[in-house]
Amino acid sequence: MTSTSPIDAQPDAQSAPAAGIRRIVLTGFMGSGKSTVGPLVAGRLGWSFVDVDDVIVAETGIAITDFFARYGETAFRDREHATIARLGTGDALVLALGGGAIEHVATRDALLNSPGTLLVHLEVKLNTALARCRGTEDSRPVLADQANLERRYEKRLPLYRTAHLSIPADALTPEEVADAVLAAMRER
């Protein structure tokens, strides 16, 4: 998708959810805007916003980078999956996932097949993500792993695109992305 208009957000007919959306889940690579757009969407709907990474930090008392260093990525992804499974059934909720959550097959399947869930991919090019995340290497373990960054992006992109909806967000303001999410929700 090359257009950047909020109207150009394209639903994926194969994975369209049932009517009656009760929760919106935002996925995408780091820097795609999940934690910025999520509160905007939630505020406009009068719903709650939850960032999964913030919940994990609050529950474990460990920063994400420290969790990765102490226990490894596999342990983090398992913890992340359990947190998403617990939170992902709430109503009147906008949930922002960590960038790698989509790699966990059970997480992805649950979000795609959960009645009332609209899984939205905020798509940005890798150079956009890097520009937006510049200076946060200390708090983003994947960003700190420069040697594998492009490979991770390329691996995740087709998984993100399995979402019910992908919104090209490179050139949009957070408000425009929120508008596109809400417009797609109304069309369901």
Beta bridge partners of 168: 123
Reduced to 3 states (helix: H, G, I; strand: E, B; else coil), residue 159 is helix
In the chain the domains, ranked by start, together with CATH numbers, are 20-187 (3.40.50.300)
Cα-trace Rg, the chain: 15
> Percentage of the chain with pLDDT > 90?
68
CA–CA separation, 128 vs 166, rounded Å?
A: 16
| CA neighbours closer than 13 Å in the CB half-sphere of residue 25 | 32
68: its two tokens: 């990765």
What pLDDT, in 10s, does the model give residues 6-15?
334 444 333 3
Q: What CA–CA distances, in Å, run from 64 to 44, 72, 107?
A: 29, 10, 19
Tell me: the pLDDT tens digits for 20-58? Answer: 999 999 999 988 999 999 999 999 999 999 999 999 999
Name, in order, each residue with C-beta under 8 angstroms of 179's C-beta and a sequence gap of 6 or more: 6
Give residue 89's identity as a one-letter amino acid code.
T
| Contact (CB, 8 A) for 29 and 160 | yes
Main-chain dihedrals φ then ψ at residue 151, nearest 5 degrees: -60, -45
pLDDT in tens, 97-131: 999 999 999 999 999 999 999 999 999 998 888 78
Strands of 165-168's sheet, edge to edge?
Answer: 10-11, 165-168, 117-123, 23-27, 93-96, 48-51
Question: What one-letter code names the amino acid at 108?
Answer: R
What is the helix, strand, coil percentage profile of the chain, to 5?
55, 15, 30
